[in-house]
Amino acid sequence: MTKDETSGGKRPTLKDVALAAGVSVATVSYALNDAGSVGGDTRRHVLDVAARLGYRPNLSAKAMRTGKTGAIGLILPDLTNPFFPALAQNVVHAARESAYSVFVTDTQGSHEAERAAAQALIQRGVDGLIWFPINDEDTLADLTGGLPVLVLDRDNPRHDLIQIDVDSGGRMAAERLIRAGHRRIGVISGPTDVRSSRQRSESSAEVLRRHDALAWHLHNAYSFDLEPAVAAAVTDGSVTALCVGADLIALGAINALRQRALRVPEDVSIIGFDNIPYGALAFPGLSTINIPVEEMGIEAVNTLLRRIAKPAESRRRLVFDVTYVERGTVAPPPTR
Amino acid sequence: MTKDETSGGKRPTLKDVALAAGVSVATVSYALNDAGSVGGDTRRHVLDVAARLGYRPNLSAKAMRTGKTGAIGLILPDLTNPFFPALAQNVVHAARESAYSVFVTDTQGSHEAERAAAQALIQRGVDGLIWFPINDEDTLADLTGGLPVLVLDRDNPRHDLIQIDVDSGGRMAAERLIRAGHRRIGVISGPTDVRSSRQRSESSAEVLRRHDALAWHLHNAYSFDLEPAVAAAVTDGSVTALCVGADLIALGAINALRQRALRVPEDVSIIGFDNIPYGALAFPGLSTINIPVEEMGIEAVNTLLRRIAKPAESRRRLVFDVTYVERGTVAPPPTR
DNA sequence: GTTTTCTAATTAAACGTTTCATTTTTAAGG
DNA sequence: CCTTAAAAATGAAACGTTTAATTAGAAAAC
């Protein structure tokens, strides 16, 4: 409908609009941006002509002039990790609400790639970065300069933070199992180079210790496949319940149990952490600790955009609550 | 390490490098881009100085001058659909290989959002678009103009295409079940407004009909939850096997069966389609048709970049083969 | 009627590149 | 040693915006 009238093939520029409207380029710019002082009649006329020509500002030019690109970068460890797509989705949507676009990057768990990605984004001139670091290492320290950065789920002294109250999550899980009557409970934690990950299991373990119910505390990589030692511990009858620091590992544990003909939850109860979508599809559904990842995505964008607007404001640190989601993997311990 | 020496706080520009190297801006530009004619010594010297100052080109400026942004847009229906993250990941990586960045957008299955997203990307000046349309409707027809677009898994007369040989996939699935000895087989297909989706099930159904083994052919939305009629048909004993047009629906069928205490694969065999990561984590693992989504992502980028480089080249249409992945949901029909 | 103030509009510079057209330098040819 | 050609380097315009500085015009103040 709003095709270019003077159809020269190219997209119309400010100059074209100015020419067609019979005013100067500056006036068009002012009118379009509600800036400067433009008379009511002229403004209307300019807007009209611009619409008729189908004028769209050239954002590259705008970016060069203003130094702002209207784009932000999202740096994630791994898009195929089921935790992240929902986050990415909400970041993209929240950004679009504010007319920002999002460069998404996934670093495959490599620090090298993380740095390369950040560098590429900075060079692109993004106005800010939302960064979910691989682990606790601050690999971008020397790269970001004064660029607004929002860090997710990690500590970082230099940037705005959005964190998760993992302590309370870890406690909730442990308490739920205690409440169900379990007294021999194993804890499996995820990656040890991530504080937030260690903390989850640590708080679980602490609660269990207090009830004298901690059978053992092991580690496993963030993976569906259990390491042999862990698989053995899970299935050797030493525990009636598991507190697992990540859903993916929890699903792996369920799998290991089933392969040895043990039933969940009749023989072993399990609670995970993350509430990844897989969990809801399992049978029975995995009981877990939910992280409000959608809200986090939205809030990440909002916080970042505020920081972009007001770089000098004092550092923000948001903490999100988690909730326990009961599905089907918790039952009383087997009686025998 | 490579900080700006003349540390004025701002990032060094071509001019700064030129000044520091004692040559003209043009020479620096030529040297950096291996263009024009620059003497060997000068070239080395310029490169040296540029490195020392930590010069990075301002891509907005470059974009304005050249009309190319070095960015592409990726438009997907829904990032939380487990089919897409792997695609997105590979698109992002392949693009980075060629120094392109990717704007990722997810349209939540709305045509409105699809158009809005495309418009935003075009305005941003992306050099091309990789588009996985929601259904067969060509909603962007009037927007893309001469912009290079690569369409995934759909037909479109105007653009380069990357498709999947779904016919052969549908046949493979049906034949596998026949080979296992099943003679009462149900077919569940996904969204009906997508040709590629209809086709999967249609080819399955055709094979089954030929063997006089098609019990029924039903539809279900792309969802884990089965519509009542479908759930009933799945569990009423009318079939010993299911050919399902999408893994997510297949997992829903397994769930429905389990809730009625039917076993997979002992009572009912199931083959899905897509090979989404969930399937591998189920117990038993879901047998399915694998779509080489990683390669598709890479090839999508390659094809798009070739089109960007050579807009006039004749239209390309790539078809990817699928493969059958045997896991644990296929067994001979129950004997009774 | 002249000066002042305010508003509306314009001119032109600037942002950081690329690249065409031009000048300067070097090398080759006689 | 002079002329010519080739190579190397430069100057300046252009890309599409924003915005500071300026001018023109109209209304207000004296």
- Nearest CA of chain A to the CA of B131: how many Å? 16
Find the residue in B nearest to A285 (Cα). Answer: B255
- pLDDT of amino acid B9: 65
- 3-state SS, residue A40: helix
Mean pLDDT of B225-249: 97
% of chain A with per-residue pLDDT over 70:
97
- The pTM of this model reads 0.94
**Mean model confidence pLDDT for chain A:** 94
Mean pLDDT of A23-29: 95
The model's confidence at residue A170, banded by pLDDT at 50, 70 and 90, is: very high
pLDDT at B5 over 60: no
- Check residue A287 and report its DSSP letter: B
pLDDT at A7 over 80: no
Chain B residues with beta carbon closer than 8 angstroms to that of A82: 82, 85, 277
Locate A97 and state its tokens.
Answer: 């609400």
Please state, in angstroms and rounded to a whole number, the distance separating the CA atoms of residues B76 and B320: 19
- pLDDT of amino acid A336: 66
Our measurement of the distance from residue A274's CA atom to the centroid of its chain's CA atoms, rounded to an integer in Å, reads 12
Cβ separation A58–B71 shorter than 8 A:
no
- pLDDT of amino acid B195: 95
pLDDT at B7 over 60: no
Cβ partners under 8 Å of residue B218, min gap 6: B186, B187, B188, B189, B229, B230, B233
User: pLDDT tens-digit profile of A227-263?
Assistant: 999 999 999 999 999 999 999 999 999 999 999 999 9
The model's confidence at residue A335, banded by pLDDT at 50, 70 and 90, is: confident
% of chain B with per-residue pLDDT over 90:
94
- pLDDT of amino acid A2: 41
- 3-state SS, residue A151: strand
User: pLDDT tens-digit profile of B150-181?
Assistant: 999 999 999 999 999 999 999 999 999 999 99
Cβ separation B79–A102 shorter than 8 A:
no
Cβ separation B224–A281 shorter than 8 A:
yes
Higher pLDDT: B143 or A9? It is B143
Strand-pairing partners, residue B74, are B104, B130
User: pLDDT tens-digit profile of A270-294?
Assistant: 999 999 999 999 999 999 999 999 9
Strand-pairing partners, residue A188, are A218, A244
CB A98 within 8 A of CB B79: no
C1’ C3 / CA A35, Å: 30
Chain B residues with beta carbon closer than 8 angstroms to that of A283: 254-255, 258
Question: B60: exposed, middle or buried (C-beta count within 10 Å: 0-12, 13-18, 19+)?
Answer: buried
Minimum-distance CB partner of A123 among B56, B251, B258 = B56
Chain A residues with beta carbon closer than 8 angstroms to that of B101: 103, 105, 120-121, 124
Cβ separation A80–B80 shorter than 8 A:
no
Would an 8 Å CB–CB cutoff place A66 in contact with chain B? no
Least confident range of A23-27, A237-241, B34-38, B166-170: B34-38
Determine the nucleotide nearest to A39 by Cα–C1' distance. Answer: C8
Statement: the CB of A23 is under 7 Å from strand C: yes
User: Regarding beta strands A241-244 and A269-271, do their DSSP bridges make them parallel or antiparallel, or are they unpaired?
Assistant: parallel
User: pLDDT tens-digit profile of A294-303?
Assistant: 999 999 999 9
Determine the nucleotide nearest to B56 by Cα–C1' distance. Answer: C16
Would an 8 Å CB–CB cutoff place B104 in contact with chain A? yes
User: Regarding beta strands A323-325 and A288-290, do their DSSP bridges make them parallel or antiparallel, or are they unpaired?
Assistant: antiparallel
pLDDT at B331 over 70: yes
DSSP assignment of B265-289 equals TTT-EEE-SB--HHHHHSSSPPBEE
CA distance to A89, B114, B130, B148, per residue, from B77 (Å): 11, 8, 12, 19
User: pLDDT tens-digit profile of A177-230?
Assistant: 999 999 999 999 999 999 999 999 999 999 999 999 999 999 999 999 999 999
* Residues within 8 A of B (CB atoms), A 106-125 only: 106, 108, 116-117, 120-125
C1’ D13 / CA A65, Å: 18
% of chain A with per-residue pLDDT over 90:
94
- Nearest CA of chain B to the CA of A80: how many Å? 5
- pLDDT of amino acid A9: 65
Cβ separation A103–B61 shorter than 8 A:
no
Please state, in angstroms and rounded to a whole number, the distance separating the CA atoms of residues B280 and A25: 60
- The angle formed by the CA atoms of residues A23, A67 and A31, to the nearest 5 degrees, is 20
pLDDT at A125 over 50: yes
C1’ D9 / CA B21, Å: 13
* Residues within 8 A of B (CB atoms), A 263-282 only: 277-278, 280-282
Phi, psi (deg, nearest 5) at residue A14: -55, -40
Please state, in angstroms and rounded to a whole number, the distance separating the CA atoms of residues B121 and B90: 20
pLDDT at A6 over 60: no
Element (DSSP H or E) covering residue B25: helix B25-33
Would an 8 Å CB–CB cutoff place A283 in contact with chain B? yes
CB A295 within 8 A of CB A322: no
Determine the nucleotide nearest to A17 by Cα–C1' distance. Answer: D16
